[in-house]
Amino acid sequence: MKLCIIFPPLPFGWTPVAPPILEYLAALTRRADPSIEIELISASADPNAFEKLECDLAAISILTPTAVPGYRIAAKLRARGIKVVFGNMHASAMPEEAKSHGDAVVIGEAESVWPQVLKDFRAGQLKPFYKGEQVDLDDLPTPLYGLLQGKRRHQFRIVNTSRGCPYNCTFCSVKPFYGDKIRFRPIDHVVRDVAAIPEKMYINGDENIWWTGKEQRAIDLFTALKGCGKRWMGFGSLRPVLSPAGKRMLNAARESGMLTAWVGWDAMTDEGLKAYHADGKIGLDREAAVRTIKDHGIDVSLFYMLGSREDSLDDFKRSVEVADRLGVSMHPSLVVPYPGTKLRQEYEPSLYKELGWEYYNGAYALFEHPDPSMTPEVREELFYETSLEVLRLGRVLRHMFKIPKQGFPHAHILSLMSQIPVRHGYKIAYEKWKAERTSVAEKRRRT
């Protein structure tokens, strides 16, 4: 039996980050049945891999912006008699839809059901749906690093150390998928997986690398990782940074090799944060928290959304001002009300329902705005203007001088690697948007 595990192409092209599901699901498969032959495909790195692909079963991992290309891949494979099982967040939020394009759907986390999926397939008794449980994380296998091949090499692997989120941000799909209880992996297992990564830099893929009230756990983890001799980056909320243990935590993070903290800035205004119910993870003074991270030798990149129903035209300008004032890199997107989130429920009456999942990539206005001046075309145009400004080559290069010197040269190289490909992708997307905006406007009018 041959299994092919597939991650469909990303909206803006190739990224140097290896999709973690590929090598991790391969490890789960190897544990369940060592006799299975496994092939991994990252479609962004190898877009033509499906033309002659031969396997018995294909597992396709879909997120909302990759659902449509994932369904297209499935159609090609099923036409050749290959069975398809879907999984990941979009398939879990929209299982009936995913099932209409495949033979089976794994809903939720795969660990508790994946061996049964493989067993049922071998027996010719594949069920339409498999409901995964939220299991303890004390027995996860090390991903099969190195199994992923392709025409373009991925330079970063992702390591996860926890699952779950207690916050109530309305836009986030993590909590509906992983639950509201934080489940931690044993620290020695994390160290084992980091040591197995062939590259010298990696990404902590957790929703949050440090949690309010769990700062000591973060300190213990970072202390244990210090001996790995590798550098890394990860997503961190701001509230714990200004806690009594914040300075010790940041020192431990830097000493463990942390180069960059990716921070969810989420909205430009306090009112916007409250509308998202995201103020609980931010703390009282988020600018002070950002400066504190930088003071401890760690670079900061802010991720944020523009164009919500509470936002104004001024918010687009504010994001550029924040970049200059704090000396950080910025990664904007337009608001995406993902299926399964509270935000989608709130925005349901105002959604442009003719816009399919391929438009859910952070570059399209997906809903009506109460301010008549905030038309979808205006929001999209301002999004591209803002994105290309904060990612302008001169600005990206000037940021090199604002990165803490403790991170030289790795943090500086990483900053370029994380911004230049995004800038390139946005420029391509902008030209595509200009060419298609008339047809997109027509779809909105049909809503």
pLDDT along the chain (447 residues), means of 10: 96 87 98 98 90 94 98 97 98 98 98 98 98 97 90 86 96 95 98 96 96 97 95 96 97 97 95 93 92 96 96 94 94 97 97 96 97 97 96 91 89 87 88 93 91
The single-letter DSSP state of residue 241 is G
Q: What is the pTM of this model?
A: 0.95
Write the single-letter amino acid at 294: K
CB atoms within 10 A of CB 14: 20
Q: CA-CA distance, 68 to 9, in Å (whole number)?
A: 10
In 223-297, which ranges are E strands? 231-235, 258-266
Quickly list H helices, 261-306: 270-276, 279-282, 286-295
CB proximity list for 383: less than 8 A, separation 6 or greater: 306, 307, 316, 332, 333, 334, 363
C-alpha to C-alpha distances, 337 to 70, 102, 309, nearest whole angstrom: 20, 25, 11
Sheet holding 258-266, edge to edge: 157-159, 201-204, 231-235, 258-266, 299-306, 329-334
Three-state secondary-structure class, residue 19: coil
Residue in this structure with the two tokens 């960059």, named with its chain if needed: 260
Q: CA-CA distance, 407 to 310, in Å (whole number)?
A: 37
Provide φ and ψ at 231, rounded to 5°.
Answer: -105, 155
Name the token pair of 210: 């440090």
Q: Domains in the chain and their CATH numbers?
A: 2-131 (3.40.50.280), 157-432 (3.80.30.20)
Q: Could you tell me if 65 and 360 are in contact, meaning their C-beta atoms sit under 8 angstroms apart? A: yes
β-partners of residue 129 are 105
Sheet holding 37-42, edge to edge: 37-42, 2-7, 57-61, 83-87, 104-107, 129-131
Q: CA-CA distance, 269 to 345, in Å (whole number)?
A: 22
